[in-house]
A and B are shown apart, each in its own frame.
Chain A
Amino acid sequence: MRILPKHTQRAAIAALGGATLLTLSLLVFIIVFVLEKGLPVLSLRFLFTNPQDMGRAGGIFPTLVGSVVLPLLAVAIATPLGVGTAVYLTEYTRESRLTRVIRFGTDCLAGIPSIIFGLFGFIFFVTTLRMGWSIISGGLTLAFMILPTIIRTTEEAVRAVPRAYREVSYSLGATRWQTVRRVILPNALPGIVTGVMLGVGRSIGETAAVIFTAGSSLRLPSSVFDSTRTMAVHFYILAREGISTENAYGTAAALVIAVLSVNLIAYWLMNRVMARRS
């Protein structure tokens, strides 16, 4: 029997649609699962009070601070470095052996397990540079961890800016830097923001690299040289050491909501910027 095009067409729709549906339902399942277990514990009090008895009682305020400060620091360090590298590679160098080696290197870096970054951060920042377990050690380590992602997404975004825009800019007597600043970066912005948001997402959920470098102190940090604990680490310790399953899920729910809202806010901001320009 011959297979008719309309049959393969139907099979393709079913298979592709099925894959999408499965992915979506998994996502929904995870979120619902975490929220169902965590929401009963979650309250403003839980978010904004200090933990007591290792987290068995009380809230998670210091870990909330840790989860805000650490990714922010990581992104603040990694964004200029990553965007700078990407723009240099795409706009200031011609495709050569060297750029291919650099690109291969960043790709390898992106594939390294986070615990290796944690180990490196521990040896280099915490002990060799004597920064100790601190927000600064953790922030620098996370910055290195998310750097490849930011470089690659920025590179893609910069490459996607139409060549004609560059030609127009140069033909109007703009220098390379003026072209980068006035034409390339503004048009690559959505892609860059995507890369940065991926970086935020990775560092907010990171545990291994954070424990090794920022430590897991439950005290509210007063400077970047203090140790801190993030929500992800808090969740890990509460669950791993059987301290409090309820509070562990409460923390997890807070983390999930935080990640979702960060993404939504970024998306909304992006849309507003784009709408203003076109």
Chain B
Amino acid sequence: MALPPRKAKLPPQGSSNYRGAYSVVEVSKSISAKPNSSSTKARQASSPNNQTTTPSSSKTSKATHSSAPKSPANGNPAVWPDSLKAYVGRCFASVGPSQRGAMEKNLKKVITSAIESNNLWTIDWDTRELPLEGIKAVDDGEDKLEKLKKDTKKRTDEKSHAGTGTGTMRTITSPSSVAYKSPSITFSKSDQQYSTTNEQAISSSSKATKRSAKWDQRSEEPASIEDSAKRKTISIFADTSYLSSSAEQQRKEKRLRRFDSPTGNESTPTPIGTPDYVGTTFVQDTEPEKFVGRSIKLEKKYLRLTSAPDPETVRPLHILRHTLDLLKQKWKSERNYAYICDQFKSMRQDLTVQLIQNEFTVNVYEIHARIALENGDLGEYNQCQTQLRSLYAMNIAGHPNEFLAYRILYLLHTRNRSDMNDLLIELTDEQKADDVIAHALKVREAVTDQDFHSLMRLYLSAPNMGGYIIDSFIDRERHAALEIICKAFRPNVPLRFLTDEIGFESDKACYDFLEKYTLNQFIDESTLRLRTKEAYPTAQNNRATAFKKIDIKGQI
């Protein structure tokens, strides 16, 4: 069970692998292929900004409008000098993963201004200083541009990445890094002003991919799924004007097909003369690297994921450690199960999406399982138990014997004979020798033998949280015991005896139980003895009812 959920929660992960294999090759291809495709690219590239009549740009803000016409003024800037590409590469190579967002910003400024000033092809990128000073390092930036940048960013990021130099740059420098890397640039929010459908397409397709946190580790490779996703978006919202040629249609279809099979991008060589934008063929990042969240909030409400997780809301391991401490403390002081369960679920989710499987994970599941047991929440317990089984199978340290014992008891609760059989077959001698497991096995035997005398003693002496699981089926067994007692003992039995034999700690508790199930009417108030013969039919009924109930795996 451990592996499937991972897949389930990160659906694109698997499919990304094969695509990734091609991306490195494609990077070089895209760079070398530049001269061929330049003119067509330019056509496509410049158009989004020219097309103030397209539905999308008509919706954009005034600021965007004012900046948009500027880019095409560069002529055909969509194609970059090779030296610029190399420059960008150097820039990113020069910074650590944590700096990439800042670098991205800087570069964008540098390049935007180069385009604005029509210097894209004149600047000697080979000798140009790297913009290492962060925002201060931007030397070419004009004030006006600085101001505009904020407005245009959304546009350039989202929409005209294929048109303006910024867009093209992002092909190389990984647009997704903008999306995920630097919290300051978040187009998933800003692009709302675009159009709802496009926004949907963008956010869902970008969320649906895994690249996200990979950017912490990677350097050169472009992330193109987002590119292509965005490009798809472009073709959706701008199809009236510049993407309407049949060649364009074919290209779009081809592009769609490319996602169908691993060989897709090989079978779709960039045709000369079609506006196949450099990025289109590299579909995916390389190796599926670890997803690492960036949230630093300790608490988080559990929300079932319906799309790929957003690293902004996922807490990394070191934060989760603090979370666990906090939750333990809160549980001790507040004992609010609804809250604690919710918090643990979100923690488990964060662990799952980040594929964290270590002793901490085991610890979280164990604690949650215990708390769930303590609160009679067998459904939640069972989820933890399932995960724990596979974690223990990976030889991660924890308390496997304790939880194996719980599992035996749980199988008694659900009366799952075949699983119990399987479990017994796998038991080793060492496991059988373990006190806690031995106890659970004795409970099993007592239950199958209907040996209520032993069962009740085992119940009252159950180690750890075992008693809580037995709680869930003890009433059933009490009814069975009462039926047997009423059948076998004559003429009566003292209440004291019943208290012992059906496992209550006081006569009062026992009497309450009998009262609840209308057996108290057969008790002589003076002698406090149960007239067994008269009580037998009622006891029979009670038992039948108790065993008829359909188990729903202990959900509450």
Do A and B pair up? The answer is no
B residues with CB within 8 A of A: none
A residues with CB within 8 A of B: none
